[in-house]
Chains A and B, each alone.
Chain A
Amino acid sequence: AQKITQTQPGMFVQEKEAVTLDCTYDTSDQSYGLFWYKQPSSGEMIFLIYQGSYDEQNATEGRYSLNFQKARKSANLVISASQLGDSAMYFCAMRSISGGYNKLIFGAGTRLAVHP
């Protein structure tokens, strides 16, 4: 079965500091993709970063980086230099071949609060 686990219901961080949001996944597929999305209170899901299972380098997108440890099946999101606007829900998601083309399996999410 495909599953995403986010064990941190809530996190808080001081502005300008870095924060790591945890994500572990379970799949028997060799080919899969991992995503992180941000959901502000407005509800829209905003794509942050993507990591393919065959990518050798950890993905980075601006202040976001994905710490991909394939053997541990973890894909943690690191946000550097946190900003007040980073306060939101963050979801880790996975897509795999057996799951079907564009079907994303989401974790329960982590609510991040950035304090000034």
Chain B
Amino acid sequence: KAGVTQTPRYLIKTRGQQVTLSCSPISGHRSVSWYQQTPGQGLQFLFEYFSETQRNKGNFPGRFSGRQFSNSRSEMNVSTLELGDSALYLCASSLATSTLTYNEQFFGPGTRLTVL
């Protein structure tokens, strides 16, 4: 079974630009979560999508947005990039359950974004 894939793996942008990152979950997984990892703030939850709906959102400005398609693939978009957006962006997929049962999240390799 193929794992979670993220594209691109590396990206360099300049301030003010926008960027779109893509995540393909494991086949059969309907939930996709996004995380930002920086040296200063560590790993922070961005948002989670399930069945094309945002189900949970972290404390990030509106410049960060996402969506999920009918095939469960997800994209996240960051508009008006700032230097502080430089980070490793990780995507995780899981089987979605409505109760707090064992529900492992499988992470992709991440997209390393550098904002100059």
Q: If the complex has contacts A43-B88, A45-B92, are A104 and B31 also in contact, measured as CB distance less than 8 A? A: no
Set of chain B residues within 8 Å of A105, measured between Cβ atoms: 45
> Is the CB of B62 closer than 8 A to any CB of chain A?
no
Are B110 and A106 within 8 A (Cβ)? no
Residues of A within 8 A of B107 (CB): 37, 44-47
A102 touches B88 (CB 8 A): no
Point out the residues of chain B lying under 8 angstroms from A44, CB to CB. Answer: 107-110
Give the size of the chain B interface in residues (CB under 8 angstroms): 31
Question: What residues of B have a CB within 8 angstroms of the CB of A45 in the complex?
Answer: 90, 92, 107
Inter-subunit contact A102/B42 (CB<8 Å): no
Chain A: interface residue total (CB-CB under 8 A): 28
Task: Determine whether A97 belongs to the interface, using a CB cutoff of 8 Å to chain B.
Answer: yes
Q: Are A97 and B100 in contact (CB under 8 A)?
A: yes
B103 to chain A minimum Cβ distance, whole angstroms, is 7
- Judged by DSSP, the binding face of B is strand
CA A37 to CA B58, docked complex, whole Å = 20
On whether the beta carbons of A42 and B55 are closer than 8 Å, the reply is: no
The digit string for A87-100, where 1 denotes a CB below 8 A from any CB of B, is: 00001010111001
Given known contacts A44-B109, A106-B42, A108-B42, A101 and B104 CB-to-CB distance under 8 angstroms: no
14 of the cross-chain contacts (CB-CB < 8 Å) are: A31-B100, A43-B112, A45-B90, A47-B104, A50-B102, A95-B103, A101-B96, A102-B56, A102-B94, A103-B33, A104-B35, A105-B45, A106-B44, A109-B42
Interface residues, chain B, with chain A CB atoms under 8 Å away: 31, 33, 35, 42-45, 48, 50, 55-56, 58, 88, 90, 92, 94, 96-98, 100-110, 112
The 10 closest A-B pairs by CB, nearest first: A45-B107, A100-B56, A106-B43, A43-B110, A44-B109, A103-B45, A31-B100, A102-B33, A102-B48, A103-B56
